[in-house]
Structure 1
Amino acid sequence: MLEARDEQVEVSWAVPPPRRTMMDNTEHLGRRIRALRHARGMSQQVLADLSGFTKSYLSHIETGTRPVERRSTLEALAAALRVAPSEISGPLAWSAPDPVAAEARAVTEDLAAVLADHRVGDVPDRPVRPWGEVAADVRRLNSDLRPRADYAAQGYLLPRLVEELLVTAGRASSPHRTDALVALADCYHAAAVIAKNTGVRPLAWVAADRLMGVAERLGRPEHTAHALWVRTHMIGGVGRERQIRQAGRWLDLLADEMSDHRVAQAAGQLHLTAAFAHATLADARGAADHLHEAEVVANRLSSDAGRFGYLWFGRTNVTFWRVSIAAELGEHTLVERLAEGVDPGTLPDRGRQAQFYSDYGRSLVRAGRTRERGVRVLRRAEELAPQLTRNNPLVREAVRFVLGRRLAEPAAREARGMAHRMGVAA
């Protein structure tokens, strides 16, 4: 059995948001940055110096004349302001109501309650349905709701399902204890993804911690590897250097287990997470090294989309991450070339496809020659996974950006439609 200890997680305290009315629909990330800067008593020059940008560039961001295009920009400003990135990009920064995105965020409250109330090993005091009915809900979660990135439906299902699985796993006489633990791993992974992608990062850390508890109970290398990747992947934000350190530690820990294709898939994902973390730190060489290692692992696998732990690790997923990393590094010509050479449908996960289209589309809308195609690509992301796409702050920034640019009427109409649905104004 593999054993691992995680590093202590630091949580940044939020600055209270400024009061606003429901009629205030001109919000953008720059405006939120300006409000937080004022709350900190900082001048533009001070914030620019602390975050590593010019005062002119920061001014353009704050006035909304330049969108926040990269996660590294968001994270640098958050670090300088001493807040979590979610305090800039999270739901509190949005004004106009978007019922689809809001429903996905609303379920996190019930998820937080069940994750806080019960640790792995607890046996909640609640009745449990016959195993066949519980198992059917687990199959529905994994084969339908997770691949569609339907966070609201998952959020309604998970609290009761988690409690029932904890009861089943905690009963010494139950013949389904191991099945229940494996299903709990799926549930905690799903909860972590929902929390991360709706901007509730601390809840994602709790879900990842609960998943680690399941892996320790199962005592299998593949489940430990899966939990280590989820725990590392959920760090993000201003913890990129810690994320890189942890990925390196876990990869060393897994080195002797790589003959197991399931462990290899999790290790490949660790390389991808580390590659993206390097990219957010503007370390193109570090990103390239980890991308290469991920590609080596992917080429050894028999399947192009591994199904263990719903990681979908394989050659296509590596290309997806290459697109995301190239977009983060500002290599927009490379983004276009990579994206045109991949078939997103190879991965049977609409949420993962939507993330690919989101990164691809955000890159395309920067330039006039590809802007209208970028609008269509962003629209495709929204069609595939609306709850995921509309909760993505960088997509919202991209949509707001194109509203003020010259577009042919079909693309302009699509942009206005997305803006209306997301509650975004120019």
Structure 2
Amino acid sequence: MSDSTRFDGQSDELRRFGARVREIRKWRDLSVRTTADLAGLSYGFVAKVERGEKPVNNRQTLEALALALRVDPGEFTGVPEKAGRATVDSYDAANTLGDLLSGWWVGEVPDAPGRPLPEVLSGLMEFHASRNRSGKSGAGDYPTQVAKLAPLIRDLLAIAADPVVGRQALAPLLTAYHVAGSISARLRVPSMPSMAAERMKQVADLLDDQVWQSVAAWGRAHFISSTDRPRQYALAVSAADAAPPDRLETRGMSNLTAALAAAAQGKGDLAETHLSEAAALAERIEPDVSPWPAGIMQFGRTNAGIFHVSIGVELGYGPRVAEIAATVRPETISAARASAFWTDFGRGLMESRKHRDAGVDALLRAESLAPSQVYRNQFVRAAVSHALPTAHRDATGRNLRGLAWRMGLAPTG
């Protein structure tokens, strides 16, 4: 045995991904060459992906393959859960959200318990706080979050129909709908995030307030399907332009969404332009993370920096993202966003074997904050699977194999 240990099951994740690409390609009756041409990729790269020899480690490549084969990117990336219970709970959560978003429109009154507004608002604030805590029952625990969120939305819908206090329930309801869209996007439920965006717009129209209408416009851009990045970019730019000048948070987040949409299309210069605009806006906000609006945007210097790291990885900066990461204070933001920072930072470092130890350490920090969020990340799964064949018999190798096991990649040998 050499100083690196190989596992019979180490490439299962890459083989599974490649087999799904090949299956869809054949179903579409396309050759590897044609698929590569349509995706703007090399023939050799696509062939290696199908054989499980190459990871797909950025959004641009993943979405290019999906566009060439005319499927949603999620068709390639079904994440096997280690525990059957987790799968059932996730499906139940998705169904609960679907019933809630499609079953009740703003203005209709569900059969809610009828709790008073102060109690519901207090419950919503506690919900926002709990979903952003670290650990297994906090950030990334979507079934638990849905179980808490659904009754809050029902209560807010009932209160919104009250002629006396109804208007006070609308803005909190809009933020609750955004969380519903965010969770459904994480659970990869098609069409549901866009349905949440429609509910946000309904609430904003009732408020008849440009501030909240611009938040709803950003939500629409934020939740648009990744299969149409050009449209996402256009909507994000429009939301930034329409946001009131005194609400820097909406303009800032819209620019960050535009930057991500540009980067996913390989338009690095355009992405950097929007990142710079967002960073300039963040400097005009006193805290590193703005508390407005409660629980959804978290705009400020920290989030702008996290987006910069993520987009840097997308654009192929690799270990150079360390220069950007050094300016970010992830401890000032929610566990979910801090985990996203360490996830992308770790992915960037792991692109170089020289920096792999630091990359694995970063992924472990991300896991400690939001384990489920890390386990579901397609790009982390690809990076870990790709690194396993050369995992040494040292502390980093043990940590990498342990992470792979917890992710359900289950190395053997």
Give the TM-score of the pair, scaled to structure 1: 0.87
The alignment status of 1:382 with 2:367, answered yes or no, reads: yes
Q: Answer yes or no: is the 8 Å Cα contact 2:204–2:212 preserved in 1.
A: yes
State the shift of 1:314 in Å. 1.1
Correspondent of 1:291 among 268, 272, 275: 275
Report the alpha carbon displacement of residue 179 of structure 1 after superposing the two structures with TM.
2.9
- What's 2:44 paired with? 56
Shift of 1:156: 0.7
User: 1:354 is matched with which residue?
Assistant: 339
Q: How far apart, in 2, do the equivalents of 1:159 and 1:124 lie?
A: 12
Q: Which has the higher contact order (CA 8 A, sep 6+)?
A: 2
Shift of 1:98: 6.9
The alpha carbon displacement at 1:101 in A equals: 7.1
Correspondence for 1:38 among 26, 30, 33: 26
Evaluate the alpha carbon distance shift between residue 408 and residue 216 of structure 1 in structure 2; reply closer, same or farther with a 3 A threshold. Answer: farther
SS in 2 for 1:370: helix
CA, structure 1 residues 271+80, in 2 after alignment: closer, same or farther (shift >3 Å)? same
- Where do 1:100-115 residues align within 5 Å? 103-104=89-90, 106-115=92-101
Per the TM alignment, residue 100 of structure 1 is displaced from its structure 2 partner at its CA by 5.1
- How big is the shift at 1:187? 1.2
Structure 1 partner of 2:5 = none
Query: Do the aligned residues in 1 keep the contact of 2:108 with 2:158 (CA within 8 Å)?
Result: yes
**Quick one: which amino acid aligns to residue 272 of structure 2?**
A
Amino acid at match of 1:415: L
Q: How many angstroms does 1:378 deviate by?
A: 1.0
1:278-319 Cα deviation digits (max 9, x unpaired):
111111111111111111211122222111123111112111
Question: Would you say the 8 A contact 1:103–1:152 is kept in 2?
Answer: yes
Match in the other structure for 2:7:
none
Letter aligned with residue 299 of structure 1: E
- Equivalences for 1:4-403 in 2 at 5 Å? 26=13, 28-91=16-79, 94=80, 97=83, 103-104=89-90, 106-147=92-133, 148-149=138-139, 150-172=141-163, 174-175=164-165, 177-254=166-243, 257-258=244-245, 260=246, 263-309=247-293, 310-347=296-333, 349-403=334-388
Shift of 1:89: 1.8
User: Distance between the aligned counterparts of 2:301 and 2:113, measured in 1?
Assistant: 44
In the aligned structure 2, how far is the partner of 1:281 from the partner of 1:111?
Answer: 30
1:49 offset after TM fit, Å?
Answer: 1.1
Structure 1 stretches of 5 or more lacking a match?
A: 1-23
With 124-133 and 300-309 compared, the bigger mean Cα shift is at 124-133
Contact persistence 1:345–1:353 (CA under 8 A): yes
Q: Aligned letter for 2:48? A: H
> Which stretch shifts more, 213-222 or 373-382?
213-222
Give, in whole Å, the separation in 2 of the partners of 1:54 and 1:25. Answer: 23
Change over 3 Å in CA distance of 1:408–1:421 after alignment to 2 = same
> Alignment partner of 2:41: what SS?
coil
1:328-351 per-position Cα deviation (integer Å, ceiling 9, x unaligned): 01011431211133221122x000
Q: Answer yes or no: is the 8 Å Cα contact 1:29–1:68 preserved in 2.
A: no
Paired with 1:97 and 1:36, the residues of 2 have a C-alpha distance of 27
Moved more, 217-226 or 203-212: 217-226
- In the alignment of these two chains, the number of paired residues is 393
1:138-161, CA deviations, whole angstroms, 9 ceiling, x for partnerless residues?
A: 122112224542322211112222
The percentage of aligned residue pairs carrying the same residue is 34
The structure-2 alpha-carbon separation of the partners of 1:82 and 1:196, relative to structure 1 and needing over 3 Å to count, comes to: same
Q: What residue in structure 2 maps to residue 6 of structure 1? A: none
AA aligned opposite 2:63: E
Q: Deviations over 1:32-85 (max 9, x none)?
A: 212211221222111111111111111111122211110111100000000011
TM-score, normalised to structure 2, is 0.90
SS in 1 for 2:54: coil
Distance 1:288 1:98, change over 3 A: farther
Inter-partner Cα distance in structure 2 for 1:410 and 1:329 = 30
Q: What is the identity, as a one-letter code, of the residue corresponding to 1:405? A: T
Q: The residue matched to 2:354 in structure 1 has which SS?
A: coil
Q: 1:132 and 1:88, CA in 2 relative to 1: closer, same or farther beyond 3 A?
A: same
One-letter amino acid of the counterpart of residue 411, structure 1: T
SS at match of 1:140: helix
Q: Which residue is 1:424 aligned to?
A: 409
Q: What is the identity, as a one-letter code, of the residue corresponding to 2:172?
A: A
Partner SS, residue 303 of structure 1: coil
Contact map agreement 1:69 1:394 (CA 8 A) in 2 = yes
Are residues 422 and 99 of structure 1, via their aligned partners in 2, closer, same or farther at CA, if it must alter by over 3 Å?
farther
Q: 1:283 & 1:186 partners in 2: Cα distance?
A: 31
**Maintained 8 Å contact 1:145/1:154:** yes
Q: Report how far residue 105 of structure 1 moved.
A: 5.3
Q: Tell me how far 1:324 sits from its aligned partner.
A: 0.8
Check the 8 A contact 2:197/2:223 in 1, yes or no. Answer: yes
Tell me the distance in 1 between the aligned counterparts of 2:222 and 2:101: 19
Q: Is the Cα–Cα contact under 8 Å of residues 214 and 242 in structure 2 kept in the other structure?
A: no
Give SS of 1:369's match: helix
**2:3 alignment partner in structure 1:** none
Rounded to whole Å, the distance in 2 between the matches of 1:165 and 1:391 is: 31
Change (3 A) 1:190 1:350: same
